[in-house]
Amino acid sequence: MYKPKLDTLQVNRDMITVFGGYRNNKVIDENCFTFEENMSSDSFPVFSPRNKRAFFNVLGESLHGLFSRNKICYIKDNSLYYGGEKISGIYFPDTERKRQFVSMGAKVIVFPDKFYFNTADFSDYGYLEAEFNSVEGTNVTASLCKADGDSYGDYTISATAPENAVNGTLWLDTSITPNELKQYSESISGWFSLAETYVRITCGGIGKGFKQYDGVFISGMSEDSLNGAHILRDVGDDYITITGMITNTINQTAKITVERKIPDMDFICENGNRLWGCNSQNNEIYASKLGDPTNFNCFMGISSDSYAVSVGTDGEFTGAISYRGYVLFFKEACVHKIYGMNPPYTVNTSYIRGVQKGSGLSLVIVNETLYYKSPKGICAFEGGVPVCISQDLGDEYYTDGVAGALGDKYYICMSDKYKKRHLFVFDEGKRIWHREDEMNILEFATHNCNLYFIAEIDGVKRLCLADGVNRYGNFTNELSGYVEEEDFPWYAESGPWGLSVPENKYYSKIVFRVYGKKGSFVKIDFQTDLNGKWETQKELRLDKTGSFVLPFISPRCDTLKIRISGKGEFNIYSISREIQTGSELNV
């Protein structure tokens, strides 16, 4: 009696206007992408590729040691370059050694070479350590003296006090051990011990390379009390003065050695006008004398002293950085935080996610937050408990993180389990990730609001600029010229659309609202029901600059994935979708 009635297919319309970046998870928002290459958040919420890079004419197999202090600094072919200028006279013999640079005032410190150079005076450079070795057979003399190195003159050496003493008479009392130098005072009608006595060691050239109040180690003296650690109270080219006591003047021709030593340090940083470092083998933390990176063994009991402490935690040190006025020394499972303005400092240990071994160069401050690669992801740290921010990078285990900062962005290059490198960028303000490419970046340096890096390209290391020479308008090419990157390929692959709707569906109309520069190219592929087969739906090479609409229709399916790829400057402002749902049957 009644004809059958067909149900009308339900039509839903939605629009994607905010593109959320990289999320390599099984289920993601439909405005995000599971795979990316060369994408960026610069035009957020618009979908857009990254800016072009620049490649400098600074390249070579031995290029390394990138650093910034007023000008770009690096080591190339065993020589040091500052602002593109080779500094005459400085030579680094080991081309493969990984180096750390730290700035202290006008000086730049280079480790593990224990070397410094003055950026205000290129003639001022040298090694932090100093050593003097006398020639066997050369005369070495040691005698009691005053603090300024002058001789005491005549004094009596005996176990009993001299008779008929007058005011100022000196007596070396040998009746007690250690011996004491005493002086007669008429005001008290008796003898009093001099608070400190000094020994002047004389030998041709012994004082060259040292300065007053250096902490040194002496060996080879026939009087054993003069060997060991000492503070130089006075220095001249041919003599040094130390605190000590000897009974008689010493003359010897045996070889002696005077050394100003710098500890071997795995990681270094500057804080409070001191050079700080740590040593995993000894499990120790060190700080230099105030304002003096050449002295780590100056212990005079004053506020400017050097500092050293052993820590009891297990494992190797994995990184160090100065953060918010404190020094942080990381291991994989903890961080040691140094409190205090002067020695003795307080070391506070927190057992938190630390820095992954091999990722010490991932420690970077973006705005006021410290970021680093931990064994379990990338962490944001503000002094308390670190927070993992890398959930969007998926379950892949990454290692060997190297990072840099530019504006609100944290750049980090890491290796996956196949040793393939990946460059990811986290936008702190927008809280989204993007993946750029597989460039093998070895070191970063932020300079003049630009991010430089050294990358290995076709087997050769090259100095590059991360984000375009015209990005901030303050780029100055202090180096030896550059070439700007040509148009590069980019792509983004969505996650499966439609997982939240159980019925089969038609995407009856999908419209891309795009803008591109003349000469740019774009291609849109789709994949249905996760079958692994990509079908090209649209290809467009722009013959003019402008805005365009790219519509297409999908077949009936349960899920749909979109891959957008192209080359050149291109933006997607929105994706509008009309979705018609059908039955749950796959017919």
Q: How large is the average pLDDT for residues 272-282?
A: 97
- What's the pLDDT score for residue 585? 47
What pLDDT score was predicted for residue 583? Answer: 55
**What is residue 511's predicted lDDT score, i.e. its pLDDT?**
83
**Does 537 score more than 70 pLDDT?**
yes
Residue 357 confidence (pLDDT): 97
pLDDT of residue 559: 84
Per-residue pLDDT for 506 more than 90?
Answer: no
Q: Which of 9-13, 470-474, 527-531 has the lowest mean pLDDT?
A: 470-474
Q: What is the dihedral of CA 36, 39, 45, 51, to 10 degrees?
A: 180
* Structure token pair of residue 77: 């072919």
Instruction: Determine the pLDDT at residue 270.
Output: 97
Nearest-10 Cα torsion for 58, 79, 72, 461 = 40
- CA dist 69 and 103 (Å) reads 7
Report cis status (omega within 30 of 0) of the bond before 112: yes
| Three-class secondary structure of residue 36 per DSSP | strand
Stretch 80-88: mean pLDDT: 90
For residue range 388-442, list pLDDT tens digits in order. Answer: 999 999 999 999 999 999 999 999 999 999 999 999 999 999 999 999 999 999 9
pLDDT digits (tens, 9 = 90+) for 283-313: 999 999 999 999 999 999 999 999 999 999 9
Q: What per-residue confidence (pLDDT) applies to 578? A: 80
Listed in sequence order, the residues at least 6 apart from 176 whose beta carbon sits closer than 8 Å to its beta carbon are none
For range 248-268, the mean pLDDT:
95
Phi/psi-derived region of residue 60, left when phi > 0, alpha when psi is between -120 and 50, beta in every other case: left
| Residue recorded with tokens 């067909």 | 6
Whose CA is closest to 73, among 58, 83, 61, 60?
83
What's the pLDDT band for 229 if we cut at 50, 70, 90? very high
Q: What is the pLDDT of residue 471?
A: 62
Of the ranges 13-27, 248-262, 376-390, 393-407, which one carries the lowest mean pLDDT score? 13-27
Q: What percent of the chain has pLDDT over 70?
A: 94
Q: pLDDT band for position 587 (50/70/90)?
A: very low
Mean pLDDT for the chain overall: 89
pLDDT for the residue numbered 101: 95
What is the C-alpha radius of gyration for the chain, rounded to an integer number of angstroms? 35
> Please, which pLDDT band fits residue 163 given cuts at 50, 70 and 90?
confident
Distance between CA 564 and CA 267 in Å, rounded?
Answer: 44
Written as six digits, the tokens of 447 are 């300079």
* Most distant CA atoms of the chain, gap in Å: 148
pTM to 2 decimal places: 0.89
Reported as a single tens digit per residue, the pLDDT across 445-472 is 998 888 999 999 988 999 999 987 666 5
- As a whole number of angstroms, the distance between CA 22 and CA 12 comes to 26
Q: Which pLDDT score, from 0 to 100, does residue 580 have?
A: 75
| pLDDT at residue 176, as a whole number | 85
